[in-house]
Amino acid sequence: MNKDIGTFVLSILIAPVFGILFSLYALQLVAMSDPEGGGMTAIVRWCAENHDARMYCHALREFTLLKSLSFVALVATILLPLTYTVILLSLSGNRAALARGYPLLVRICLAVLPFILVAHAILIAFIAWEAIEYRFWHPSAFLLFAIVAVVGALLLAAFNILTDMRQMLAVEPLRVTGIAVDESRAPDLHARARRIAQKLGAAAPRHIVVGIEPMVFMTSIPVRLRGVGDVPEGETLYVSTLALRTLDDTELDGLLAYEIAHFTGSDLAFSRRFAPAQAALANAVDSVDEDVSESVFMRIAKAPAYGLLSLMLLVLRWRMRQVHVDREAAADQAALGFAPALRMIPMIIKMTVLGSQWLEFRRGLTDLMNRGIGRRNIARDYLQRLRDHLGKADAGKLRFELSQMTTPHPLDPHLSLGMRAASIGIDDKNLIAPTVIALRQEQPEKPVLVAIEEEVTKADLDYTRVPGHPIKLEETVDLPKELTA
């Protein structure tokens, strides 16, 4: 965050402020050059009346123009994020207005940004020209090249934003590892999702993807299955086999209801319109982020664009924090219609625990693959690792850590376990120990689910391994050292 704010400040100071200071200094020199000693006011009046071609009248006009252009560029640079913030604050009071207006706001800001970059480029060129013409500066060939490079890079950055705007605003597909299951393969899951959506008055998912990553979510953003292809257009529900293995029917109902509730009433428009616009802004920030392979001149030139867009994203996340809190609390309340509070909290605890070891487990899978070894069912392996970890963990420390954790989600920041329990009105700390004990118990495996897990594991292995490097499937029951807790 400090880097983004610092970059924004730098983007203001690079050209406009320096242009103002330079022009004020030059005008002071012009005033001092008046042979009659009348000062700036007398020079301005005399040049206006006589249209004199003397050097200091010419300098007066040019440096006055430079000062005006610098002020305009400074105001425009500040006004863009300021206007964006004011409009965002006014829209965020009404969720429906925010869903309708925010995508347009992002487009307008991205359309204005190239003109600001062009103004910065013109100012830098103007300042350099005036400094050389009036002999304030005697640059070396390298410095001249540097100025030309920065000006050219600024113009190129502006051109790239204009030409790539469609691509920057395009929402990148959400990439997950999983397989799309139709109703013939998972009839119970499809029927459950439809029943919950109908009772909530929500949009039912058109597609269901089953994967192993320990999260459950529903999204209107396009979904791309790694190594498989794109899911057809429409709301997609992603369900982890880890949830299907560890949750009972009531807990699973509560979990699906919590996610599907985001697609009810006003939240439906919000989820369909706002989430893609937010993703587009994040994509725009990434597109102008610093690249170590780029020249230093290009990185300097991209600083204004990166600073402005980053600040816009920071303001959005700050303002949306309370909106997200309200949405998540409302979704939990809707889910209580399917799972009572004393069943909802264990479900949240289980999903929090399931997400707690995943990143370390993924790193272990990568290390194992680098040795040319793969596994047949990483869902089974992960649950074994998780049970071993829970058996070794200190109960008090685990209780504190879990209360601060959130359940994984690829888009929206969920509330922590403690915050969700407090909003429901239940003390989660008394339920953590028995829930952890239940998680450590091995559950009977369903052949259909095991087959899906093995298919997803194979897709994950095929996608991540280096082409041409053979992978040997290891069939041992004991976990390899890379996957242990």
Per-residue pLDDT of 75-112, as tens digits, reads: 888 888 889 888 888 887 776 777 778 888 888 888 88
Contact 271, 156 (CB under 8 A): no
> How confident is residue 123, by pLDDT bands cut at 50, 70 and 90?
confident
Burial of 102 (0-12, 13-18, 19+ CB in 10 A): buried
Query: Is residue 277 in a domain?
Result: no
Distances (CA, A) of 142 to 131, 153, 255: 16, 16, 63
Q: What is the mean pLDDT of residues 356-367?
A: 94
Contact 385, 357 (CB under 8 A): yes
Q: Which of 258, 213, 264, 206 is nearest to 237 (CA)?
A: 206
Query: Is residue 291 in a domain?
Result: no
Domain boundary residue, one of 214, 248, 266: 266
Query: Is residue 325 in a domain?
Result: no
Q: What is the mean pLDDT of residues 445-467?
A: 90
User: What amino acid is encoded at 54 in this protein?
Assistant: R
Lowest mean pLDDT among 50-59, 264-273, 351-360: 50-59
Q: What is the mean pLDDT of residues 223-239?
A: 90
203 and 253 housed in the same domain: yes
217 and 125 housed in the same domain: no
More confident residue, 305 or 340: 340
Q: What is the pLDDT of residues 204-224, one digit of tens each?
A: 999 999 999 999 999 888 899
Residue 197: the pLDDT is 95
Query: Is residue 84 in a domain?
Result: yes
> How confident is residue 2, by pLDDT bands cut at 50, 70 and 90?
very low
- The CATH code of the domain that includes 224 is 3.30.2010
6 and 91 housed in the same domain: yes
In this prediction the pTM is 0.74
Lowest mean pLDDT among 39-43, 147-151, 370-374, 439-443: 39-43
122 and 196 housed in the same domain: no
Whether 171 shows a pLDDT value over 70: the answer reads no
Which residues are 375's β-sheet partners? 474
Distances (CA, A) of 262 to 65, 201, 226, 345, 412: 54, 11, 25, 19, 11
398 and 462 housed in the same domain: yes
Domain boundary residue, one of 169, 195, 212: 169
Residue 209: the pLDDT is 97
Contacts of 305 (CB under 8 A, 6+ apart): 11, 113, 117, 157, 161, 288
Query: Is residue 437 in a domain?
Result: yes
Helix runs in 134-248, H state only: 141-163, 165-169, 187-200, 241-246
Whether 462 shows a pLDDT value over 80: the answer reads yes
Residue 1: the pLDDT is 44
Tokens of 158: 């502006």
Whether 58 shows a pLDDT value over 50: the answer reads yes
Whether 302 shows a pLDDT value over 70: the answer reads no
Percent of the chain residues past pLDDT 70, beyond the cut:
85
72 and 194 housed in the same domain: no
Q: What is the pLDDT of residues 17-50, one digit of tens each?
A: 878 888 887 777 766 765 555 556 666 666 666 6
Query: Is residue 438 in a domain?
Result: yes
134 and 217 housed in the same domain: no
Contact 304, 318 (CB under 8 A): no
Domain boundary residue, one of 144, 169, 194: 169
Distances (CA, A) of 450 to 21, 39, 197, 356, 376: 70, 88, 27, 22, 10
- Which domain covers residue 189, as residue numbers? 174-266
213 and 341 housed in the same domain: no
Lowest mean pLDDT among 76-85, 189-198, 399-408: 76-85
Query: Is residue 326 in a domain?
Result: no
Contact 242, 300 (CB under 8 A): no
Tokens of 145: 């090249």
Query: Is residue 10 in a domain?
Result: yes
243 and 388 housed in the same domain: no
Residue 28: the pLDDT is 76
Task: Tell me how many domains the chain contains.
Answer: 3
259 and 118 housed in the same domain: no
Q: Which of 323, 342, 398, 370 is nearest to 480 (CA)?
A: 370
92 and 65 housed in the same domain: yes
d(CA 377, CA 416): 30
Q: What is the DSSP letter of 45?
A: H
158 and 236 housed in the same domain: no
